[in-house]
Structure 1
Amino acid sequence: MSSHTATVTKGAPEPPGPPIAEPARPRGLRGHPWLTLLTVALGVTMVALDGTIVAIANPAIKQDLGATLAEVQWITSGYLLALAVSLITAGKLGDRFGHRQAFLFGVVGFAVASAAIGFAPSVSLVVTFRVFQGVFGALLMPAALGLLRASFPAEKLNAAIGIWGAVIGASTAAGPIVGGLLVEHVSWESVFFINVPVGVLALGMGLAFLLDHRAEKTARSFDLPGIVLLSGAMFCLIWALIKAPEWGWGDAGTLGFLAVALVLFAVFALWETRAPEPLLPLSMFRSVPLSAGTVLMVLMAFGFMGGLFFVTFYLQNVHGMSPVESGLHLLPLTAMMIVSSPLAGAVITKVGPRGPLVAAMVITALAMFGLSTLDAGSGTLATSLWFALLGLGLAPVMVGATEVIVGNAPLEHAGVAGGLQQAAMQVGGSLGTAVLGAVMASRAGGVVGEKWAEAGLPPLKAQQAEQLEDAAAVGFAPPAPAGTPERIADLMASVVHDAFISGMGLAFTCAGIVAVLAAGVAVFTKRGAHDAGPAVHV
């Protein structure tokens, strides 16, 4: 039996010598692996749904609370910062005090923060409670993975993570549709209130079905300097990525925050080699598969989240779709992820992660290159084909890379590994949105003036040209001046759309190249080296 097998800690003194852990024993239905999966999936649904549903509510919040655009942006940025900064520390809390306790505390906190947002009378309070949502979401997500890691035997862990990934895909897909319906027919507050009944149900199921799993070999003290250093480094990195599109990549502020982040990461790494109970044991990264899985997750999120950022603008601003309609047009992507995630888990269980992950990133690259060929006249069939292919490629990576990271970490660090997996996604997504956004904006802004002149349209003043470049970066054609002939107005809109599509094509090409690099990284992955939890009721 592995020394990393899960146990239920009851405060008994640790026996001398290497700890010999006994399996956690289920009592009735408590500890049943599949009921554990159902419970944590329900909790994770809140966080995944919130990731996309809030964007639909932002315009209504802006109007109802009289918020500025910068304040509305903070509704998303505050949540993202809190989530990214807290993930690894939250995972450590689960390792130390038990993943069941961390999960239940996260569920309650997330639901309460959601209700508080719905009652908030000002945008400043909305942002404040969104930060709390991010902190509690960070507590919930690694704990969910830690519970799965400890509840399922190694041969069934991939299948469980596959279903977990399908739930995240379904929740993410439902966000724009559910959000659009709620905002249109109820209120923007209902977008947040919906988390309350889900949280109550997840709490009830958690109290009934979850069994506390924690390793016998746990830290006796907290690495407070490590927490401060890592949190500061993550804050500076994510802040720089969030502000780079506004400030510019060459701005002193952007470069300054990136430099501080680099210094703090270096000091953190040095400290962790000397800390008696390190927050993130660097010995974990001696595992080549775990390191490769982490890099793979960053690269996958880079292309996926960065690419989706443009797709919404393409569907809504170029094709003139409503948020609900654009959400429906993305269903081939998310439906394929929902269907193929469990299948990917089964395949990876049979043959191991390496082959499926390499193939999946190749498919993802093909989809990215395919999306780079879209234009203003591309119909539903073409977009659906590339979206479905992208979903087919992403699902095995989401499942396989997660299992590689969590499965190759010792059980006593399962929470930290879960936090690392989520942090890799957040960093990759933020980096992809910022870098690909800069590529797209630069290309669109650079060609819109040329296309404007080629179309024979009247010359623009400096301020008008700058406004046109900003519009081209998001594909939004400004209303033509009153009295403009319809043919000229259509031509002006066509120029803006063509410039945006040129930039989007280049961004997707870059995302495809990153996916090819990720396929090379996937070669270094392999099945988890550590046994998972005991096979009970499986």
Structure 2
Amino acid sequence: MSSTTVDRSALPSSAPPPGSPARRSLRANPWLTLAAVAFGLFMVQLDASVVAIANPAIGRDLSASTADLQWVTNSYLLALAASLILGGKLGDRFGRRTFYLAGVAGFTLASVAIGVTGSIEGVIVFRAAQGLFGGLLMPNTLGLLRAAFPPRRFGTAVGIWAMVSAVSTALGPIAGGVLVERVSWESVFFINAPIGIVALLFGAVVLPQARSEGTGRRFDVPGVLLLAVALLLLVLGVVKGETWGWSSAGTLGCLAAGLVLLVGFGVYETRIDQPLLPMRLFRDRALTTGTVVTALNFFVLLGVIFFVMLYLQNVRGLSPVDAGVRTLPLSLASLAASPLGALLTGRFGPRLTMPLGMLLQAAAAFGMAAWDTASPYGAMWPPFVALGLGVGMVLAASSDAIVGRAPVRDAGVAGGLQATALQIGGALGTSVLVSLIGGRVGATLTGELTAAGVPAGRAAELLHARDAVAMGVAPVSPGMPDSLARAVVSGSHQAFMNGVHTAALVTGVLCLIGAATAAAGLARTGRAAPGN
């Protein structure tokens, strides 16, 4: 059986001598390892959520089309999805510190390149580069923690990891709003430079070179290609489904081809000695359940944040900064939930915290289904708190269920599996909920406009603007009489809220299904064997 070793290899001459007590102390300290990976994790997660705020400014400055702006997001998602499990496997095989630091350096350089490129094509290309390097960085954060912490303390480490992840994601809209409004859209990417430099220097000093020995010399190149193409097709089908149409040949073809290749990948992996993703991991019911619920967790988080920001900015008229401030309860609840979730998971296992977290998210979604176009803030912050608590608890519990139960030699692969589930779930959440909102808007817009006082003929003409209304934007044209403009705004916003209600109710039902799945899948599962 393979084992995990820690190589406390020497750094340049400016560092303490390799055999010195100072060097041994630094690289043997798991809490310093946690602090080091937190920098890289914070950078990637913050970047993922601030870019959405910067997109309108990028479009105006670079004369980008809506399709171009979609690819600013999609190129990142596609590259990230294709590289996460590979990044974890490379870290397990050749050294987790090496590939973590390579990911930090590459992500930082790609971020700076986006800010100086000056063209929308350059932004898209370097966003894809960010995704590739993020795929090296993300899974090895958890791989390094799994190797550094003893089983009894791994849950606490994961709780802090989850806290950093959740808070950086939730703070993104605030940070992005401030930077775009007060500095420039380029600053959203330049801010990664100082964070990346600190992460690189600190990590180079304190991180141990954890790797798994006894894996042989072969590398599963066919598996890499099969999985990369399968995930590319699946994510492409998901992110383009709303644009192409969910029943279109392009969407169905991408999804079907991706699923066929994914099944083929699974079959192939069972027939080779040194697989990229060992299928034996999925014999553990808790690990499999954790992967599914992890995807659902970020489906809810990113999908809900997307339509909440549309509601706050386009319906309620708040600035990006003000909208971000209104969501602070979500961030603060996440901050509290992650260590609490880790504590409860360490004592009772994920069978308590994972269903509880999904139930809290269900409560948040059903609370949002009661919002209207003029809901007071007192009706908004309780769902934000419930959502933050739920997401933080599930993230801590799912990390324990996936990475904590995987053998140490597969820690990087398990981290890649969790990160892949996060990204695919987030892409699905945004795309599916936007599609639900758009469909409901199209079905109710004409009726809501006429009910608000818009003449029937004019209401029918405005149906062509349903895509704008699905983003919360009322199609008021210059020169429109004030009374008609008020009616158009009222009817359009009500149609958008109809879509939000549908999306929130569907999300709530999915959370209840997720809670039941977690309760059933984690029932009577023991803790992972420490020596695994």
TM-score interval for Structure 1 and Structure 2 normalised by the shorter chain: over 0.9
Q: Matches of residues 269-284 of structure 1 in structure 2 within 5 Å?
A: 269-284=266-281
Once residues 418 and 145 of structure 1 are traced to their aligned partners in structure 2, the CA distance between those partners, rounded to angstroms, is: 5
Whether the aligned pair in 1 keeps the contact of 2:337 and 2:390 (CA below 8 Å) is no
- Structure 2 letter corresponding to 1:87: L
Once residues 35 and 3 of structure 2 are traced to their aligned partners in structure 1, the CA distance between those partners, rounded to angstroms, is: 22
Match of 1:349 in 2: 346
Q: Matches of residues 265-304 of structure 1 in structure 2 within 5 Å?
A: 265-304=262-301
Q: 2:247 aligns with which of 233, 240, 250?
A: 250
Match of 1:531 in 2: 530
Deviates more, 1:396-405 or 1:461-470: 461-470
Deviation sequence 1:323-368 (CA, Å, 0-9, x none): 1111111111111001221121112112221112222211211111
1:145 is the counterpart of 2:142? yes
Once residues 87 and 205 of structure 1 are traced to their aligned partners in structure 2, the CA distance between those partners, rounded to angstroms, is: 23
Deviation sequence 1:270-318 (CA, Å, 0-9, x none): 2111123111111110111110111111122222222222111111111
1:488 is the counterpart of 2:484? yes
Match of 1:100 in 2: 97
Once residues 125 and 530 of structure 1 are traced to their aligned partners in structure 2, the CA distance between those partners, rounded to angstroms, is: 48
Q: 2:502 aligns with which of 501, 506, 514?
A: 506
Whether the aligned pair in 2 keeps the contact of 1:36 and 1:209 (CA below 8 Å) is yes
Match of 2:512 in 1: 516
Cα deviation, residue 65, structure 1: 2.1
Cα deviation, residue 192, structure 1: 1.2
Q: 1:128 aligns with which of 122, 125, 138?
A: 125
Q: Measured at CA, do residues 532 and 207 of structure 1 come closer, stay the same or move farther in structure 2, by a change above 3 Å?
A: farther
Q: Measured at CA, do residues 461 and 498 of structure 1 come closer, stay the same or move farther in structure 2, by a change above 3 Å?
A: closer
Once residues 26 and 341 of structure 1 are traced to their aligned partners in structure 2, the CA distance between those partners, rounded to angstroms, is: 31
Whether the aligned pair in 2 keeps the contact of 1:290 and 1:408 (CA below 8 Å) is yes
Cα deviation, residue 197, structure 1: 1.2
SS in structure 2 at match of 1:29:
helix
Once residues 520 and 439 of structure 1 are traced to their aligned partners in structure 2, the CA distance between those partners, rounded to angstroms, is: 24
Deviation sequence 1:140-163 (CA, Å, 0-9, x none): 010000011111111111111111
Q: Matches of residues 335-484 of structure 1 in structure 2 within 5 Å?
A: 335-460=332-457, 464-484=461-481
- Structure 2 letter corresponding to 1:352: G
Cα deviation, residue 397, structure 1: 0.2
Deviates more, 1:344-353 or 1:417-426: 344-353
Once residues 412 and 532 of structure 1 are traced to their aligned partners in structure 2, the CA distance between those partners, rounded to angstroms, is: 10
Once residues 391 and 530 of structure 2 are traced to their aligned partners in structure 1, the CA distance between those partners, rounded to angstroms, is: 26
Deviation sequence 1:219-260 (CA, Å, 0-9, x none): 421111111111111000000111111110111111111111
Once residues 285 and 265 of structure 1 are traced to their aligned partners in structure 2, the CA distance between those partners, rounded to angstroms, is: 14
Deviation sequence 1:192-237 (CA, Å, 0-9, x none): 1111111111111111110111222324211111111111110000
Identity of aligned residues (%): 46
Match of 2:163 in 1: 166
TM-score w.r.t. the length of structure 2 is 0.93
SS in structure 2 at match of 1:8:
strand
Q: Measured at CA, do residues 102 and 521 of structure 1 come closer, stay the same or move farther in structure 2, by a change above 3 Å?
A: same
Once residues 458 and 443 of structure 1 are traced to their aligned partners in structure 2, the CA distance between those partners, rounded to angstroms, is: 21
Whether the aligned pair in 1 keeps the contact of 2:476 and 2:488 (CA below 8 Å) is no
Q: 2:32 aligns with which of 24, 35, 42?
A: 35
Match of 1:212 in 2: 209
Match of 1:119 in 2: 116
In the comparison of the two structures, how many residue pairs are matched? 517
Once residues 488 and 216 of structure 2 are traced to their aligned partners in structure 1, the CA distance between those partners, rounded to angstroms, is: 64
Q: Matches of residues 44-59 of structure 1 in structure 2 within 5 Å?
A: 44-59=41-56
Gaps of 5+ in 2: 10-21
Once residues 458 and 264 of structure 1 are traced to their aligned partners in structure 2, the CA distance between those partners, rounded to angstroms, is: 52
Once residues 199 and 37 of structure 1 are traced to their aligned partners in structure 2, the CA distance between those partners, rounded to angstroms, is: 16
Once residues 79 and 173 of structure 1 are traced to their aligned partners in structure 2, the CA distance between those partners, rounded to angstroms, is: 19
Match of 2:6 in 1: 8
Whether the aligned pair in 2 keeps the contact of 1:294 and 1:424 (CA below 8 Å) is yes
Once residues 529 and 202 of structure 2 are traced to their aligned partners in structure 1, the CA distance between those partners, rounded to angstroms, is: 28
Once residues 436 and 532 of structure 1 are traced to their aligned partners in structure 2, the CA distance between those partners, rounded to angstroms, is: 42
Deviation sequence 1:501-527 (CA, Å, 0-9, x none): 111111111111111111112122246
Deviates more, 1:50-59 or 1:411-420: 50-59
Once residues 478 and 532 of structure 1 are traced to their aligned partners in structure 2, the CA distance between those partners, rounded to angstroms, is: 62
Larger relative contact order (Cα-Cα within 8 Å, sequence gap ≥ 6): 1
- Structure 1 letter corresponding to 2:318: M
Q: Measured at CA, do residues 149 and 460 of structure 1 come closer, stay the same or move farther in structure 2, by a change above 3 Å?
A: farther
Cα deviation, residue 186, structure 1: 2.2
Once residues 209 and 320 of structure 1 are traced to their aligned partners in structure 2, the CA distance between those partners, rounded to angstroms, is: 47
- Structure 2 letter corresponding to 1:389: A
Whether the aligned pair in 2 keeps the contact of 1:407 and 1:530 (CA below 8 Å) is no
Q: Measured at CA, do residues 390 and 43 of structure 1 come closer, stay the same or move farther in structure 2, by a change above 3 Å?
A: same
- Structure 1 letter corresponding to 2:530: D
- Structure 2 letter corresponding to 1:366: A
Whether the aligned pair in 2 keeps the contact of 1:26 and 1:32 (CA below 8 Å) is no
SS in structure 2 at match of 1:213:
strand
Match of 1:20 in 2: none
Once residues 323 and 216 of structure 2 are traced to their aligned partners in structure 1, the CA distance between those partners, rounded to angstroms, is: 48
Cα RMSD of the aligned pairs, angstroms, is: 1.9
Q: Measured at CA, do residues 528 and 135 of structure 1 come closer, stay the same or move farther in structure 2, by a change above 3 Å?
A: farther
- Structure 2 letter corresponding to 1:149: R
1:63 is the counterpart of 2:60? yes
Q: Measured at CA, do residues 219 and 9 of structure 1 come closer, stay the same or move farther in structure 2, by a change above 3 Å?
A: farther
Deviation sequence 1:103-131 (CA, Å, 0-9, x none): 11111111111111111121111111111
Whether the aligned pair in 2 keeps the contact of 1:468 and 1:496 (CA below 8 Å) is no
Whether the aligned pair in 1 keeps the contact of 2:104 and 2:199 (CA below 8 Å) is yes
Deviates more, 1:269-278 or 1:203-212: 269-278
Q: Measured at CA, do residues 294 and 284 of structure 1 come closer, stay the same or move farther in structure 2, by a change above 3 Å?
A: same
Once residues 57 and 302 of structure 1 are traced to their aligned partners in structure 2, the CA distance between those partners, rounded to angstroms, is: 22
Whether the aligned pair in 1 keeps the contact of 2:445 and 2:463 (CA below 8 Å) is no
Once residues 315 and 77 of structure 2 are traced to their aligned partners in structure 1, the CA distance between those partners, rounded to angstroms, is: 28
Once residues 376 and 461 of structure 1 are traced to their aligned partners in structure 2, the CA distance between those partners, rounded to angstroms, is: 22
Q: Measured at CA, do residues 481 and 117 of structure 1 come closer, stay the same or move farther in structure 2, by a change above 3 Å?
A: closer
Once residues 71 and 55 of structure 1 are traced to their aligned partners in structure 2, the CA distance between those partners, rounded to angstroms, is: 13
Match of 1:81 in 2: 78
SS in structure 1 at match of 2:185:
coil
